[in-house]
A and B are shown apart, each in its own frame.
Chain A
Amino acid sequence: MGRGELAGRKAGTRSMNPLFVIAGYLLLLVLLGIAASRYFSGTSQDYFVASRSIGPFFLAMSVFGTTMTSFALVGSTGEAYERGIGVYGLMASWSGLVHSAVFFFVGVRLWAIGRRHNFYTQIQYFRARFDSDWLGYLLFPILVGLVIPYLLIGLLGAGAVIAGLTAGMFPETFPSTGGAVPTWMTGMVICGIVLSYIFFGGFRGAIWANTFQTMVFMLTGVAAFYAISGKLGGIQAAMSAVAEQAPQLLVREGQYRHLQFLTYFLIPISVGMFPHVFQHWLTARTAKTFRLSIVGQPLFIMIVWVPSILIGVWAAGIGLEVAPNAVLGSMVGLIESPFLSGLLTAGILAAIMSSLDSQFVCLGTMFTQDIVLHRFRGMRISDRRKTWIGRGFIAIVVAVTYLLSLAEPRAVFGLGVWCFAGFAGLFPLVVGSLYWRRTTKTGAFVCVLVTAGTWLGFFAASGFGREEVLVGGLAPVAVIFAASAVSLVLGSLATRPPSPEKLAQFFPRNV
């Protein structure tokens, strides 16, 4: 098995059966959204935070599914294909430790405050904590602007996977892509499916779909690992091929710098500022609901990342020559059983869509709650109209994201890291607001502005995600984070502290 077989696969006509399996899976998701809509009580609280009724299993699965996007599958495989096994320590083991820490120290506390004050969004919290309408108006475009690249990596990943799977399948219909389904078509279908099930089911629909899709991609990931290794002559044979053909991928020397490896722990702290994860936290029935997420997250990450990374280095071992984003799709395409390869690709799409849905609903919620309802808070707006405002904004965001995905593609891994760096830069704001009573409105404003400025500067310097940028060996996130933290502290110390009455609303006495 190797280059010859891959070339032959691309040139010949291939079975369309994998696409039928994927179509069946997508139909199942729409039905799930319709089923979730039967439980929809009609209130905006139910549409936006599922009436705060979600239990431990659904919370753990949906939060994990939301944090694992095409970055975890398509991105990690592509990065391992280029730079080897070091990507596991760089992202996965750091994420396991840091995500759980953020859930424990930030998530549970924000859940308690959100429940006490009946918040739906992050911005409602920051506005109330710092007594500032304008902080919300400043944060809204920044958060939306950072979520959009996150959405983009989902669509780019989905397009690349389907293109890899269908290479050579439609040589007459799509000659310009070598017979593969073009990425614009995959993006359109994925957007349409996600939009349909969240339209019907709201956040409850997203959680149900997330949970189902998380189980699907965890199981199919392991199945893909065994099926692909079988095709390569077994796990040990696949690794021997890597040791012979690409031994540099089995070590980190020459692939990553020590300081870069160390400072990457700042990337996963971004989870503490993801607006869609905040919204997931608010759906929890009780604080104890978080426990399964806290313990399970490192293990869930391990289950997904280990196979993805090994498949990436195996691809280099067999001399696969494709773009990093297409590695996983191409490797799944090696499996001869059309049913199995269709199922495994559906699993990859599941991981991608399980993030897109929460992000779309979250943006709709933020627009409805933080802009429209906040701006017209004197007016009586029915629950029905609130949910329709949310749906309308979601449709606009989906359309904008889809159009952006048609522009020049970027590597999923690199774009993901930039997106996470922006959210990680805002992390001092949420920690300061929760644990440092002295944090003030001015400190919050300065922190947000400095973060946005430094992030934009580095992103522009990287050619808008085209190249990797290091600052004296450090990942840019380290500089953004430090600038953010220092500006928060200095801005807060230079201004008058919040009143004791205000602090009493947000700081439990003995916790």
Chain B
Amino acid sequence: MLLHHDFWYWNDSRLVFGFLPVGMAYHVFYSMAAALLWLSALLFAWPEELEEWAAASSPGEKQGPAP
């Protein structure tokens, strides 16, 4: 989250690849990095047990509308 605040590019109007302002290019790369971060979360921290818990409902717990 701290890396989001790129104050060092705040007043920089240089163009990356000839068309993308550097302050925007930084955040485009930030978006890509976010996707990688969440991919690693899926690989290393996925809550497998949650699915079993969801499927193993007991009749007494049914509180929603009947299907």
Interface residue ranges, A against B (CB under 8 Å): 43-45, 85-86, 88-89, 92-94, 96-97, 100-101, 104, 108-109, 111-120, 124, 128, 235-236, 238-239, 243, 247, 250-253, 258, 261-262, 265, 286-288, 291, 294-299, 301-302, 306, 309-310, 369, 373, 505, 508, 510-511
Contact A96 B35 (CB under 8 A): yes
Contact B42 A295 (CB under 8 A): yes
Contact A100 B66 (CB under 8 A): no
Interface size class on chain B is: 35 or more
A-B pairs under 8 A by CB, number: 164
Give the residues in chain A near B44, CB-CB below 8 Å: none
Shortest C-beta distance, A29 to chain B (Å), equals 28
Bound-state CA distance A45–B67 (Å) is 5
Contact B55 A89 (CB under 8 A): no
Contact A302 B65 (CB under 8 A): no
Contact B62 A118 (CB under 8 A): yes
Bound-state CA distance A128–B54 (Å) is 16
Bound-state CA distance A167–B13 (Å) is 34
0/1 string, B22-46, CB within 8 A of A gives 1: 0110111011101101110110001
The 8 closest A-B pairs by CB, nearest first: A118-B64, A112-B54, A93-B27, A298-B34, A250-B13, A253-B11, A508-B53, A302-B31
Bound-state CA distance A511–B49 (Å) is 7
Bound-state CA distance A128–B63 (Å) is 7
Interface residue ranges, B against A (CB under 8 Å): 1, 4-7, 10-13, 15, 18-21, 23-24, 26-28, 30-32, 34-35, 37-39, 41-42, 46-47, 49-51, 53-57, 61-67
Partner of B64, one of A86, A89, A119, A310: A119
Bound-state CA distance A114–B51 (Å) is 12
Contact A92 B31 (CB under 8 A): yes
Contact A108 B50 (CB under 8 A): yes
Given known A-B contacts A109-B50, A508-B49, A510-B49, A43 and B12 have beta carbons under 8 A apart:
no
Contact A108 B31 (CB under 8 A): no
Contact A306 B38 (CB under 8 A): no
Contact B47 A287 (CB under 8 A): yes
Give the residues in chain A near B19, CB-CB below 8 Å: 235-236, 238-239, 310
Bound-state CA distance A238–B15 (Å) is 12
Partner of B12, one of A104, A251, A296: A251
Partner of A104, one of B38, B56, B64: B38
Given known A-B contacts A88-B24, A511-B53, A261 and B34 have beta carbons under 8 A apart:
no
Shortest C-beta distance, A471 to chain B (Å), equals 19
Given known A-B contacts A89-B6, A92-B27, A251-B13, A117 and B53 have beta carbons under 8 A apart:
no
Contact A252 B54 (CB under 8 A): no
Given known A-B contacts A120-B64, A298-B38, A97 and B1 have beta carbons under 8 A apart:
yes
